[in-house]
Structure 1
């Protein structure tokens, strides 16, 4: 019987490989008893698996006597093919295990523009030099992406608090959100001394927030003030917001990690400093800790080492 006929069964693929490993082990062990010991199953289980395999194929694979075990001609052909299948499967598994251990392959990352430009960009060359087999696919975008649906390995997110999720998140950096205006703006429109006064000002809001026009502040005594502002500009890009604010076109509220020297040099002036600081966490978000690819693990470790607690 030709080998290709042995694989022409109309059985569904769901049980295509059933019994193959058992059959190969029986042949290599030269007995059902020895195969059962090596596979840690009972002899009856091993015998039943081979019998089910023969029934499915419609051929006898083994000649059995009380003392000897030998292959039929069909069994010989089938054994050679199955042995190759198992060797190929082991090679694939070993290759994958190797890939898990060696950081390599394409790493797809999503990161907000501000964090990417100000924090990730300065250390990226060092990461690439350290892991030359990793190919980076970086999406700098202030829009919230779907990590799983969009096929990302890691997403960096900044938030006061992340939404509940089945994803794993690791907080590696903290920042403070400031309300800011340029000196030119304050000269023209006046200095607001309380958040409630923002309703009379030119506001530039970040559109990607759930409630972009509700700005909340907490006084030192714990009293909460929610100010509902009217945006002259609603924008989903922090760089654009900073640029407009520097040009005196409005007031922004922005995490400090998006700013370089604008506050330190006085180009932007913090407002409401007598209120409690608004803390922002920066997180690495990824699908699972289990069976984490080496490329993902080394990136997480690198970012935490370079930027952790900054």
Structure 2
């Protein structure tokens, strides 16, 4: 027996005052309605309706059960409406994971405007440079800046490309000279980013597509590009860094882009989120908003 269907049948019979009217309202036959209520009475071991050939009346047990039945069905209907409303607009808490530098320098710039568009959203932003498990750690979306994504069941939406640049301060270059080729870096203090597989190996590609890898050395390594940027600004040495971190410094002349004839493989910005049949409005809103933000180049260095 489908007890929920039987509860709905009982309610309709009582409210409409007729088995026939209840059957029409529910799109069932008179016989089906009668059978559902009879099965309900059998399950409960109590008679709910006193029936005659022309009318019926609730028994004392039936009155109590009918009142409880109404509360149950009303609560279920309210729950259905709540879920429907929740699915119709972005609401609740959105948990985002992002790299430390990107979350600090980029997301902090446009998240206030995003939240102003969706006042029923609350944001939980966690910034770190370790790879998190979205499902296990309870994140809705992760942003990744990477040269290569590992195989995953997650959906990956590419949002933008960030160049990787070799930079130094004018003061450092005045003291130590400006490298003209990747090989010249061997004579310089090169600061390395440790969140890559081989931090000391910098691979350059020239205009002909020929790659060469230089094993650099230096006095500072760090797991965040912000620390390397700050050290470079203070003249400690040469660093490789993403363009989103230093584009303003380059335009202002606080840092200088080195080896312009050689390129480093860029990093791609992705939004990653679980593959759900029904994508929640809060995730869709965030990913769509981020895609609109990065549709145009934000990190020009000229």
TM-score when normalising by structure 2:
0.78
Aligned to 2:3: 20
Which deviates the most, 239-248 or 60-69?
60-69
CA distance, structure 1, for counterparts of residue 9 and residue 83 of structure 2 = 27
Aligned to 2:224: 237
Kept after mapping to 1: 8 A contact 2:9/2:36: no
Kept after mapping to 1: 8 A contact 2:97/2:126: yes
Q: 2:188 aligns with which of 178, 184, 201?
A: 201
CA distance, structure 2, for counterparts of residue 95 and residue 143 of structure 1 = 36
Superposed CA deviations along residues 202-249 of structure 1, whole A, max 9, x for unmatched, are 222222223323322223322222333345322112211101112222
* Distance verdict in 2 for CA 1:39–1:184, change over 3 Å: farther
Superposed CA deviations along residues 172-210 of structure 1, whole A, max 9, x for unmatched, are 222211112223333444433333443443222222223
* Distance verdict in 2 for CA 1:66–1:172, change over 3 Å: farther
Superposed CA deviations along residues 78-111 of structure 1, whole A, max 9, x for unmatched, are 4442332222112012112112223322222223
Aligned to 2:121: 134
* SS of the residue 1:107 aligns to: strand
CA drift at 1:37: 9.8
Spell out the pairing of 1:96-115 with structure 2 (5 A cutoff). Answer: 96-115=83-102
Kept after mapping to 2: 8 A contact 1:143/1:236: no
Kept after mapping to 2: 8 A contact 1:20/1:82: no
Gapped regions of structure 1 (runs ≥ 5): 1-17
* SS of the residue 1:284 aligns to: strand
* Distance verdict in 2 for CA 1:247–1:82, change over 3 Å: same
Spell out the pairing of 1:176-215 with structure 2 (5 A cutoff). Answer: 176-215=163-202
Q: 1:122 aligns with which of 109, 122, 128?
A: 109
Gapped regions of structure 2 (runs ≥ 5): 298-302
* Distance verdict in 2 for CA 1:129–1:218, change over 3 Å: same
CA distance, structure 1, for counterparts of residue 44 and residue 217 of structure 2 = 74
Kept after mapping to 2: 8 A contact 1:19/1:50: no
Spell out the pairing of 1:20-59 with structure 2 (5 A cutoff). Answer: 20-27=3-10, 28=12, 38=26, 51=39
The reply on whether 1:291 has 2:278 as its aligned counterpart is yes
* Distance verdict in 2 for CA 1:185–1:19, change over 3 Å: same
TM-score when normalising by structure 1:
0.76
Aligned to 1:172: 159
* Distance verdict in 2 for CA 1:57–1:113, change over 3 Å: same
